[in-house]
Structure 1
Amino acid sequence: MRRVEHVMGFPVSLRVDDEDVPERAADAVFAWLREVDERFSPFKPDSEVSRHGRGEPAPHEPSADLVEVLDLCEHYRLATDGAFDVRLPGRAFDPCAVVKGWSMQRAAELLRAAGARRFCLNAGGDVVASGGPWRVGIRHPERADKLCATVELTDGGVATSGRYERGDHIIDGRTGRPATELLSLTVVATTLTEADSVATAAFAMGADGIEWAASLEGCEVFAVDAEGRVLRTAGLALC
């Protein structure tokens, strides 16, 4: 099974190698991602996230999904001493750094529930996979047509935060200024929820974020600093 759709502002590709997984499993994945886009986009004024950010009263309590996302955001804010913060002064509430990986991990769980055992879900370069080994390329932070490494992934997630696509968009919440000490930082973890959140949180911390991310159980790190130096954990499985 192969499918590619544009959701949440980037291409999402799905590959399932199991022959007995029904097409409706892919339908469920993309329906979920479209739902996430409607409910969690800070760029849509009527989304649940936008209403929450404005502090508008709602007819119901925050959904269980939003509570889960808020808890993840607070966890990483505390873990980074405020470097990672989705509530920056003068900016709208924006939990996208958590929502992307979290929603893709949930999509992977939908696939497993449908019987998929060997699959790869790629969301704009962030990957959650099962039944590997899979080879996942890490883009060169200064040359879009080159890879600087390829990692081997069996079951888990790979996510990269960097400056090469959207410029200096990751803010260090402790200073209110863009984080510029790194060019890119990639995290491999047991889930894409963790890989994506840790990658952004560590990038916001700057150079200190490399050691912090590497200290987390189950996380492997590949980073390129502003001087072009490569730093990686010894346990990272490179191809």
Structure 2
Amino acid sequence: MARSQRLALFDLDHTLIPFDSGREWLLFLVERGAVDAAVERRYLESCRSYVSGRCGIEVLHRAVVTPVGHTAEAQIARWSREFEAEMARRVPRSTLALVASHRDAGDRCAIVTTTTRLVAEPFARIFGVPHLLATEPRRVGGWLTGDIEGHACHREHKVTHVQRWLAAEGLMLKDFERSWFYSDAAGDLPLLQAVTDPVAVRPDDRLRAVAQERGWPVLGTADVAF
């Protein structure tokens, strides 16, 4: 049996936070004059291409990571702390309280997000979540290449990332008497279906329909005040 008998997993963008963290990271860099203002436009173009099915998640990852590909790790770390301080003012108290309620109950907590680790780490610190499963950026010689290491933490691969993380600690999902996953998107259905307690948070239309059909809890603006 698991050392902690309950597991709480959280998606990040539009679930714990009411915005796109990748875009906010790029805007943060633009405001500091660290990157050209055109990076946000290119990112939004990539988002539209992804939504339309014209490109994969790799293009979004590259749009976020490539602008700092030739930046020293120490500088990126400084920006990460500054970004954390700015974003801490924008995180909803309701989702901070949601995560805290699981932590206080002794549940094992993790953020499971498609977002690159580079951007997601500041939010894991803000929420006080000790485990972060994210898309891993590839580095060569200490420099970010814009590519992804292994599979992106996306769709069905979120399940793989969770299983691999738990296996490293000698655990499996079935070891937990209860397991939650909070998400806003139908793309997360593989992991939502793998836990005992799936929760839809301000869901997209497809996820809302599935949640209503299966009787899953649906949290909206009255429950998670964005």
Q: TM class by shorter-chain length?
A: under 0.3
Query: TM-score, normalising length from structure 2?
Result: 0.25
Which has a greater percent of helix? 2
Which has a greater percent of strand? 1
Report which structure shows greater RCO (CA 8 Å, sep ≥6).
Answer: 2
